[in-house]
Structure 1
């Protein structure tokens, strides 16, 4: 699939024209944090560009949402990894990072809005094997697990990529419980399961 202008700018290639695809991402991110629905027509209007131009920049609304969702996850995971490293728990740092991350995800206004209004789409964007979010999340968790394995905090005899995939799927099952089973997300149960498995 050809890269969108937004994806190219995220890779470091910027154009001189203003506003830019990165401005679209920044505005969408601001709306997400406020729990405001991402409407493409409204976003184009705020940026002062046509809907056609915005679509050329970002591709589809779903592709823009993936970038917004990953931007928030990436920042949160980095911050939490630093916190956990400073706290130096004896157990798996991966389990601690992801346990804290789930609490934040479930309290995020943007996530709450999407779960309430477009829960199935949100689950698909975050969990589908073809999703950029999914592949990035697995890669990040594999990095965390590699450090755990190196320091003997996790001793499971399993390929780190397979373990990362499984760990991400566990986390997803607790974050997207409402879309999967109709139940309520349970971050404490998620934490117990991760701590029991990642040791």
Structure 2
């Protein structure tokens, strides 16, 4: 029991530190800010920083854990809709995933802009997406007519979600829910005709 309480307290402190540190990195610039500066801003020592995080990237990605979603469980809980396409199902899942996202948080926008413009953080985010793919794949494969299409569908869906978050983070779209609808509808309609380039 005592170990469980200590573990929860440690997790809560780690989440609080991750939020503070990632905000500082976003304000100062991820590459410019040092661990010593960030630790001082958070009111901790350099040793304490490395007790909770292996590197700056770990601190930033840990700040996303509080809002992390089990997409496999989310998809499994969605009721079936007769005639819905696999892409429509992906659209519905990601719409549900962002339904309760805070849209008035400038620190969150700044954090996402930092992640999307910093190569090291983009690489770590890509690793998270691979984990999401593995969680979604077996569930999606059971719900579509062609199970072998689950992998490409998930990869395309996560890429669409990532693009929607970028639209929101940069202010190009005022709402993440609107951004998800825009991206998924645009991709659904992308199968129209393609005009041939004129040959001169």
Q: Under TM normalisation by the shorter chain, which class is it?
A: 0.5 to 0.7
Runs of 5+ unmatched residues, structure 1: 1-13
1:101 aligns with 2:97: yes
Task: Write out per-residue CA displacement over residues 35-79 of structure 1, whole angstroms, 9 at most, x where no aligned residue.
Answer: x93564343x3xxx423321343133431120221342235x466
Please give the alpha-carbon distance, in whole angstroms, between the structure 1 residues aligned to 2:7 and 2:60.
21
Aligned with residue 143 of structure 2, among 131, 151, 155: 151
What secondary structure does 2:172 align onto? Answer: coil
Please give the alpha-carbon distance, in whole angstroms, between the structure 1 residues aligned to 2:11 and 2:62.
11
Q: How does 1:33-72 map to 2 (within 5 A)?
A: 37=23, 40-43=39-42, 45=43, 49-72=44-67
Please give the alpha-carbon distance, in whole angstroms, between the structure 2 residues aligned to 1:126 and 1:100.
29
State the 1:196 CA deviation: 6.7
Aligned with residue 131 of structure 2, among 130, 139, 155: 139
Task: Write out per-residue CA displacement over residues 129-170 of structure 1, whole angstroms, 9 at most, x where no aligned residue.
Answer: 631x322323323432432232325x386471x443332112
Summarize the Cα distance change of 1:25–1:108 in structure 2 as closer, same or farther, 3 Å threshold.
farther
Summarize the Cα distance change of 1:59–1:20 in structure 2 as closer, same or farther, 3 Å threshold.
farther
Q: Normalization by structure 1: what TM-score?
A: 0.58
Please give the alpha-carbon distance, in whole angstroms, between the structure 2 residues aligned to 1:125 and 1:52.
25
Determine if contact 2:72/2:136 at 8 Å carries over to the other structure.
no
CA RMSD of aligned residues (A): 4.2
State the 1:124 CA deviation: 4.4
Q: Report what 1:188 is aligned to.
A: 181
Task: Write out per-residue CA displacement over residues 84-111 of structure 1, whole angstroms, 9 at most, x where no aligned residue.
Answer: 2xx33343443322122234446374xx
Please give the alpha-carbon distance, in whole angstroms, between the structure 2 residues aligned to 1:80 and 1:25.
26
Runs of 5+ unmatched residues, structure 2: 25-37, 191-200
Q: Normalization by structure 2: what TM-score?
A: 0.57
In the alignment of these two chains, the number of paired residues is 164
Q: Report what 1:8 is aligned to.
A: none
Please give the alpha-carbon distance, in whole angstroms, between the structure 1 residues aligned to 2:67 and 2:121.
18
Stretch moving more, 187-196 or 57-66: 187-196
1:74 aligns with 2:69: yes
